[in-house]
Amino acid sequence: IPCYKLYEDVDVIAFLDISQVTKGHALVVPKEHYDNFLSTPAPIMHKVFDIAQRIGQIDIQFLGAKGVNILTNCYETAGQTVKHFHVHVIPRYSKEEGFMLEMKAGAEGLNLPVIAQTIKDNL
């Protein structure tokens, strides 16, 4: 499999995804194994997101992207298929290409005060 490497240091590597959702779709990956975003130590996560941010800025400035999706999936229910933390940087040139998450309106049937308090109590 060819690798179109964009960046590499002792902790992180970034390369173009071989399955391009859009032109310039990149992956930023820590070299050390972590199952997903939730198990990655903060210093490594910060390095990964720093490089992802820089790639996204380049997508806008030099590739003509009009927006960027930053995506990582944690666990199978959320779509994780690779059991190694990585971040997708997906340049967007129009709303019609690639994918779009659909946010449903409202919070019917959800107890938002209890949900908020549970999260606050555990931060």
> Known catalytic residues?
86
Cα distance between residue 97 and residue 22, in whole Å? 7
How many CB atoms are located within 10 Å of the residue 91 CB?
A: 25
Whether the Cβ atoms of residue 97 and residue 22 lie closer than 8 Å to each other: yes
Q: Where are the alpha helices (DSSP H) in 1-123?
A: 42-62, 112-122
